[in-house]
A and B are shown apart, each in its own frame.
Chain A
Amino acid sequence: MSTDVMKERITETSPQVYARIGGVLYLIIIVIGFCSEFFVRDKLVVSGDVTATANNIAASESLWRISIAGELILLVCSAALTMILYVLLRPVNKNLALLAVFFNIVEFPIEAVSKLSLFAALFLSGNADYLKAFEPHQLHALVKISLKLHDYGFGIDLVFFGFACLVYGYLLFRSGYFPRTLGVLTAIAGLSYLANSFTLILAPAYAGRIFLILVFALIGELSLCLWLMVKGVNVPKWNEKARLALG
């Protein structure tokens, strides 16, 4: 009995550990996401030149593959982070915390499956025999189509991530054990993801320009990441809220 109580206590009083692990996972997620976007895709994909793009991808095959592998690891970390945020924010409102998880659960597979298009782009950039049935220019166009499918897949998954961020922002704001500013920044991050995705869908001509709005997403996510890592959660207030929620 007493060991049971002890164990209970230990699992009960570890929101701080969860917060720290969550912060580290978030940092890994941000670093991998940033590197894949800016040091791999942005460098190899030449806008307006499909031949150069295909040649770059073919020449940097291992970099391309490492970046895909990295993004799959990113998703594994995201799944763990989702569980941690659920545990941390459940005391605020159990149903909304679950809703945020559900948005994430729909988002992750879409993102993972859209990486398939990056593999397609890699295969089409190669010079396998069976592809000789197409003209090189046609293959390069197919590479571009694959990359476009990936961009749209990513845009779709960010719709759901955007909604998840809005819910997380509200929960952080209402929590009492995280600063309200953190909630506001997370909600702004969510809005900027939604603005970015819906611009891509409704006015693709402006997608290149609106992309800059994701700076707000980076600010919001980096703030949450650093706060979790450095400050963590206000444990006494979390405990109080958790007790109340259990009623």
Chain B
Amino acid sequence: MGTAVMTERITETSPRLRARTTGVFYLLTILTGIFAQGFVSERLIVSGDAAATAANLLAHKGLFQLGFAVFMIEMACNIVITALFYDLLKPVSRSVSLVAAFLGLAGCVIKTLSRLFFIAPLFILGGAHYLSVFSAEQLQALALLFLKVNDRGAAIALVFFGFYALLTGYLIIRSTFLPRILGVLSVLGGLGWLSFLYPPLGYRLFPFVVALALLGAAVLIFWLLVFGVNEHRWKEQARQGCT
């Protein structure tokens, strides 16, 4: 009984381990996202050229499918970090942390759904018999149209992730167990994503916004992996929150 209570306590109270786990899944989310977006999506899709895009997709079908599978893994990891950050930042404010988690989940839903239009071009261009009623140009146009829907869907999700980063940053700044600068970087990254409230602006600023967000993410991941959280202060703030 006594040891049972002990182990129970230990699993409940290892914020540093949970912070490190958050770092691992955050890193996975970023790496999978960079691979699928940067090395598959950006390389194979030729904006404005339906024929070239279709040719690329058919020539690199396996890579495109892999990109989609990795997008799914990215989203699964994103859900894991949403749950972990909720728990990690709950001691600062339970309600704000919950609102942040819901915004993050809404972003995940929108982004995942938009990915449906990333994979759809493959069966549009798949050459099935029933598709022969459309001309090749029509099918290629349809495929590019779907890819654009995917892109816009992901841009909508970015707004939700922007608000998520703002709230997360606010919670980190207010926390006693993580350095404030991490929160400031998260707020700046979030403000960057909010440029997608007006998509033309978002696309224009995209390189800067991504650089800013990646910098913030990299520093936060590094901190979580190496230092975790200040366990003593985390527990203290958690206790104060309870009373």
Contacts and interface: CB of A to CB of B under 8 A. Distances in A.
Interface of A: 48, 50, 93-95, 98-99, 102-103, 105-106, 109-110, 113-114, 135, 137-138, 140-141, 144-145, 148-149, 152-153, 156, 159-160, 163, 197-198, 201-204, 244-245, 247
A99 B133 CA distance: 46
Interface stretch (B119-127, B187-195, B207-215): B119-127
A238 to B, nearest CB: 14
A109 B116 CA distance: 13
Contact of A102 (B11, B83, B112): B83
A141 B83 contact: no
B9 A106 contact: no
Interface residues of B, number: 41
B190 to A, nearest CB: 20
A244 B120 contact: no
A98 B86 contact: yes
A95 B116 CA distance: 29
SS class of chain B's interface: helix, strand, loop or mixed? helix
SS class of chain A's interface: helix, strand, loop or mixed? helix
A103 B82 CA distance: 10
Contact of B105 (A48, A105, A153, A247): A105
Interface string B113-135: 10110011011100011110110
Contacts of B66: 202
A102 B4 contact: no
B57 interface: no
Contacts of B129: 48
A163 B112 CA distance: 15
Given A99-B79, A201-B68, A110 B109 contact: yes
Contacts of A160: 75-76, 79, 112
B8 A201 contact: no
Contact of B130 (A140, A201, A245): A140
Contact of B124 (A145, A159, A247): A145
A198 B69 contact: yes
Contacts of B128: 144
B69 A202 contact: yes
Contacts of A145: 120, 123-124
B161 to A, nearest CB: 14
Given A98-B83, A141-B131, 6 more contacts: A95-B87, A149-B116, A156-B113, A160-B79, A198-B72, A247-B9
A50 B223 CA distance: 56
Interface in B83-109: 83-84, 86-87, 101, 105, 108-109
A98 B18 CA distance: 14
Contacts of B113: 109-110, 113, 153, 156
A105 B18 CA distance: 22
Contacts of B18: 95
Contact of B65 (A94, A159, A201): A201
A145 B146 CA distance: 12
Contacts of B101: 102
A161 to B, nearest CB: 11
A110 B8 CA distance: 36
B119 A138 contact: no
B8 A247 contact: yes
Given A105-B105, A137-B133, A244-B4, A99 B83 contact: yes
A106 B69 contact: no
Task: Pick the 8 closest A-B CB pairs, nearest first.
Answer: A137-B133, A99-B83, A50-B130, A244-B8, A109-B109, A141-B130, A138-B133, A102-B83
A148 B120 contact: yes
Nearest to A96: B83
Given A95-B84, A102-B83, A141 B116 contact: no
Contact of A152 (B109, B119, B133): B119
B46 interface: no
Contacts of A110: 109, 112-113
B76 to A, nearest CB: 5
A201 B105 contact: no
B65 A202 contact: yes
